[in-house]
Amino acid sequence: MTEKERLKRLSEDVYRANMEIVEKGLVIFTFGNVSGIDRASGIVAIKPSGVDYGELSPANMVLLDLQGNIVEGDFNPSSDTKTHLKLYNAFEEIGGVVHTHSRYASSWAQARKSLPCFGTTHADYFYGEIPCTDVISDGSIAKDYEDETGALIVDTFREKDYRSIKAVLVACHGPFTWGKDVGEAVFISAVLEEVARMGSLTIEINPDSTGIKPALLDKHYLRKHGKDAYYGQGRGRSI
Amino acid sequence: MTEKERLKRLSEDVYRANMEIVEKGLVIFTFGNVSGIDRASGIVAIKPSGVDYGELSPANMVLLDLQGNIVEGDFNPSSDTKTHLKLYNAFEEIGGVVHTHSRYASSWAQARKSLPCFGTTHADYFYGEIPCTDVISDGSIAKDYEDETGALIVDTFREKDYRSIKAVLVACHGPFTWGKDVGEAVFISAVLEEVARMGSLTIEINPDSTGIKPALLDKHYLRKHGKDAYYGQGRGRSI
Amino acid sequence: MTEKERLKRLSEDVYRANMEIVEKGLVIFTFGNVSGIDRASGIVAIKPSGVDYGELSPANMVLLDLQGNIVEGDFNPSSDTKTHLKLYNAFEEIGGVVHTHSRYASSWAQARKSLPCFGTTHADYFYGEIPCTDVISDGSIAKDYEDETGALIVDTFREKDYRSIKAVLVACHGPFTWGKDVGEAVFISAVLEEVARMGSLTIEINPDSTGIKPALLDKHYLRKHGKDAYYGQGRGRSI
Amino acid sequence: MTEKERLKRLSEDVYRANMEIVEKGLVIFTFGNVSGIDRASGIVAIKPSGVDYGELSPANMVLLDLQGNIVEGDFNPSSDTKTHLKLYNAFEEIGGVVHTHSRYASSWAQARKSLPCFGTTHADYFYGEIPCTDVISDGSIAKDYEDETGALIVDTFREKDYRSIKAVLVACHGPFTWGKDVGEAVFISAVLEEVARMGSLTIEINPDSTGIKPALLDKHYLRKHGKDAYYGQGRGRSI
C-alpha cells in the first residue's frame, strides 16, 4: 500500500471507531474522540472537534503530524488532540487512542480512585489496577492544558508498562485507552467500562474488597497474553 | 416571518421537544413538560396537562401570554405552567424551559442535595454546581404553589448566573432546565441527567468526593463557552 | 353487554395486562401475574400458573368465583390466586390486581422497608409511603400460605386507605398493586417500580433522606386526585 | 436416536445456549462458555476458546470425553474446559454447565461474598444461599488452574446438594451454573444474575438485611420443586 492508501484506510478506521464508541454506549452527544496513527509516516488521524456524530464521515477526519501540524482536513481537530499526540510520542508501540466520558470509568476518575483489579475479568485484559492520575496542577492548566494532560498520563506510567495496562483514568475527567490499533483501543475502552461498573458494584457489596492476589493476576493475564498464552486459537496477542 | 408563522414553528418545536424528552428516556408516562417562548410577541407555547404522549400534536400545544392568559388552544395547559412563566419573566434571555422527573436528577432533588461539579463532563456544560432549592414553605404551597415554585427557583439564582448554570433541582420534586431555545433546554436536561447519574456513582465509589477545583472548572467551561472558547468549529455558543 | 360478553372482555384485558407487565420490564420469565374481576358476577380472571408468556392467550385465562372455585379454564390458576381473591374480597372497590417480582420494588420488600414518599413523583400517585408488611409468621406459612399472604396485606391496610395507596410490599417477597381496573393496576405497578428505583437512589445520595412534609404530599396527591383535582383535562380519577 | 444423532443435537443445543447467554446480556465479547453432556456416551460438547460469537456454529463446537480427550473438532476447546469436566465427573446428574462473567453475579464473586437468599425470587429457584468459594490457593493455581477450579467448586458443595443449589460463585472470578440440561443451566444463569442484582440493591437499601427464614425458604422452594410441588401445570421439575 502507498502512504496515501494507508492514510485513507486509517481515516476510515478512525471514523468507524468514532461511530463504534457511540454505538457501544461509551459516548453520548460528542463526549469522546478516537485517533489512529500510521507509524511509517508519523501521521495521526483524529475526529474533528464538536461535530455531531450524524455528520461525521471518513472525509472529515483531520490528519496531523506528531508535532500537531495539520496535514489534511478542513475542520479543527478534537480539542483533546494534544493529549493524543503526547501519547503517540511517548508510547511508541501504540497505534490508536480513545478518549471517552463513559459513565463508570469517568465516575472512578471523578472519585479520584485507581480501579483495583478485583477479579479475573479485569485480569484477563489489564495486568494490574488502572491508575488514576493526580489532579492536574494549576500551573499545567494555565500553561498548555491538553498537552499537559498527556504529560500527566505519561508521568503516571513512569513505573508502569503501557503495553500491559492500556488505560488510564485522568482525575476529575475520564478515561483514555490505547492499543496496537484503533480497534484494540476501542475494545479496551469497552472492557474498561465493564470492569469499572463491576468494580463499583464490588465495593458496594463489600466495602472492604481488595484487589486479587498476584498469583491469580499472573495466571489470568498471562494465559491470554505473552509467549506462554494458551487462550484462544493461537498465541495471545500483545503490542 | 410573521408572528403567526413564528408561533406555528414554536408550537412545532415545543411539540417535538416534548416527544424528544420521552425518546431520550427522561420522562415516563406524562411526567414532564416543555415550553418555548416567542420573545417578540411574548407568547409561550406549552404542553397540555395530562395528555398521553401518543395523542400530542403541534396543534394541541397551548399558547399563553406571560401573564398566563390563554391565547390559543382547547386544552388546559400543563399544571406547571405558572412555574415556566415565572422563569420566562425573570430570566429574560431564555427561550425554552424543560421540566422532567428524570430518575437521577430527581433523586438528587429528593435527597435535597445540590449536585457538585465532580468532573469535566459537568464543567463542560455548567459553570459550577447545580443548586438544589430549599423545600418550599407551607405558606407558598397554600398560596399559589406553581407560581411560588417558580419564585423559589428565581430566588435560588439570586446570586448565580442563569446563563452559565441552566438547571436547578427543586427540592423533593425534580429538575427544571432552560436554554436559549427549546432545543438547548432539552439538551441541557439530558446532560444534567447524565452528570447526576455519574455524580451518584462518584459518591458511591468515594463518599469523600468533592467538587473540582476552580482552575479546572474555569478551563473546561470557558474552553467551550464565551469569547475565548476554542472547542468546536467556531466560537462557543451561549445565551 | 351480557355476562358472557363481559367475561370475554375481562379475559382479554387480563391477558393483555399479563403481557404488558413483561413488555414494561416488570416481569422476567413467569415471575408475575395479573387478575381482574367482573364485580357484577363476582367472577375473577387470572393467569394460569407457570405457563410461558409466549403461550398465553385470552382463552387460557382461568375464571374463578370469589371463593376460588374454577368456573372456566383447563389450566391451574396462578399459585398466588388465593392472595388475589383475598384482596378482591376485602377491597371492595378494586377491579384489578397485579403481582410482580419487579427489581426495585422487590428489593425494598427484601430489605423489609416501607418505601417513604421521598418526592412529588411518588406523591402524585400514592398518598403516603408504600407499606411493607411484617414477615409472614411460621404459623401462616404452614396453614394456607397464599391465603394468609392476602390476609397479611389486608391487615397492613387496617388503618390505611387502599383507595389512595394502591400498592403494598410483601416482606421478603415483592409488590402487589391494584386499581379500579387491570389497566390502572398495571400502571400503578410501573409507577411503583420507578419510585422504588428513585427511592433507592435517594438514600444512596443522602442516607438521611426523609419523606416529604404533609403539606407537599397533600398538594401533589390532591391536585391529581379527588374532588378538587385540577391536573389533566377533567377531574382527577379515583376509585 | 443413534449416538451420532444425539451428539449432533447436543452440539446444536450447546451452540444455541452459547448464543443465548449473549442475547440475554449475560456475556459480553467472549466472556462465557456453555457445555452439555451426552451421559450415555460420556461425551461433552463445549464452545471453542476465544472464537467470536459471530463465527460460532454447531459445527465448531468441540467434543471431548470426560478425561478431556478431544473426540471431534478442529478448534481448541474453551480454556475453562477442565472446570466443566470436573463438574460433570462429580455432579453425576447434571447435563449442562454455564460459565459467565455476568455483571452482578461476578461482582458478588469479586466481593468474595456468598449471595444470601434475601427473598422468594431466590427461594423459588435455589434452596438457600449461593455459596462463594474460597480464593483458590497459590498451589492450585500453579498446579492445574482450571482443573483445580473445578475441584474447589466440588469441595464447596461437600455439604451442600448440587441438585437444589445449581450455582456457585468462584471467588474473584464469576459464576458457574448447571442443570439437568443446557437449557436449564442457561435459565439458572439468568435467574442467578437477577437475584444477584436484587441482592445488591437489598443490602444497599438496608445494610442489615439478612436471609429469609427457613420456613419461607422451604415453602417457596418446595412449592416449585420435589414431590409435593404444586406450582405450574404438573409436578415441579428437578434433576
Active site residues of D: 124, 231
Chain D segment 14-53 residues within 8 A of A by beta carbon are 28-29, 31, 48-51
Nearest CB to D198 within list C79, C107, C145:
C107
Chains that touch C (3 or more CB pairs under 8 A): B, D
Half-sphere exposure of C61 (CA within 13 A, CB side): 26
Put simply, the chain C residues between 57 and 116 with a CB less than 8 A from any chain B CB are none
User: Which among B119, B194, B231 is the nearest to A79, CB-wise?
Assistant: B231
How close, in Å, is residue C119 to chain B by CA atoms?
4
Whole-number pLDDT of residue B81: 97
A206-215, B23-32, C92-101: the lowest-pLDDT one: B23-32
Question: How many percent of chain C have pLDDT more than 70?
Answer: 97
Q: Which residue of B has its CA nearest to A139?
A: B215
Q: Tell if the CB–CB gap between C110 and D202 is shorter than 8 Å.
A: yes
DSSP state of C1: -
pLDDT value at C15 more than 60: yes
Contact D107 A213 (CB under 8 A): no
CB contact under 8 A, D206 and C31: no
- In the predicted model, what is the mean pLDDT of residues D181-204? 98
CA nearest neighbour of B37 among B72, B10, B1, B70:
B10
What's the whole-number mean pLDDT along residues B70-85? 95
For residue D35, count other CB atoms closer than 10 A to its CB.
32
Q: Which residue has the cell 459516548?
A: A27
pLDDT higher than 50, residue A237: no
Of the listed ranges C219-233, D33-47, D177-191, the one predicted with least confidence: C219-233
Give the pLDDT confidence of D205-236 residue by residue, as tens digits. 999 999 999 999 999 999 889 777 877 775 44
pLDDT at B54: 86
Give the B window 133-162 contacts with C, CB below 8 Å: 135-136, 138, 141-142, 145
Q: What is the Cα–Cα distance from B211 to B217, expressed in whole angstroms?
A: 9
DSSP H or E run through A173: none
Q: Give me the pLDDT at residue A233, please.
A: 72
Instruction: Read off the C-alpha cell for C233.
Output: 383535562
Which of D140, D172, D176 to mutate: most A Cβ within 10 Å?
D172
Q: What CATH topology corresponds to D3-224?
A: L-fuculose-1-phosphate Aldolase (3.40.225)
User: What average pLDDT does the structure give for chain A?
Assistant: 94
Record: contact C28-D204, CB cut-off 8 A: no
Cβ distance of C76 and D190 shorter than 8 Å? no
Res. C124: pLDDT tops 60: yes
Q: Which among C171, C164, C146, C161 has a CA at the least distance from the CA of C224?
A: C164
Distance separating alpha carbons of residues D40 and A144, to the nearest angstrom: 71
For residue C235, pLDDT beyond 70 = no
pLDDT of residue A238: 37
What is the pairing mode between strands C43-46 and C32-38?
antiparallel
Task: List CB contacts (< 8 A) between D121 and chain C.
Answer: 31, 101, 106, 174
Q: Distance from C164 to chain B by nearest Cα, in Å?
A: 19
**ipTM (interface pTM):** 0.94
Enumerate the domain spans of chain C: 3-224
B92-113 average pLDDT score: 98
Say whether A231 is catalytic: yes
List CB contacts of B112: < 8 A, sequence separation 6 or more: B132, B135, B171, B172, C206, C209
Which residues of chain C make contact with D233, given a CB cutoff of 8 A? 48-51, 75-76
Closest of A92, A231, A86, A89 to residue A161, by C-alpha? A92
Structural contact between residues C227 and B71, judged by C-beta atoms closer than 8 angstroms? no
Looking at chain D, the whole-number percentage of residues with pLDDT higher than 90 is 87
Contact D202 C79 (CB under 8 A): no
| pLDDT confidence of residue D237 | 36
Return d(Cα D4, Cα A38) in angstroms, integer.
52
Q: Among C191, C201, C231, select the one facing B79 at the smallest CB separation.
A: C231
The single residue of A161, A218, A230, A231 carrying the catalytic annotation is A231
Q: What's residue C234's pLDDT?
A: 59
**Does residue C200 sit at the D interface (CB-CB below 8 Å)?**
yes
Q: How confident is the model at residue B237 (pLDDT cuts 50, 70, 90)?
A: very low
Residues in chain D with CB shorter than 8 Å from the CB of C108 are: 205
B202 in contact with C, Cβ within 8 Å:
no
Residue type, C183: G
* Mean residue pLDDT across chain D: 94
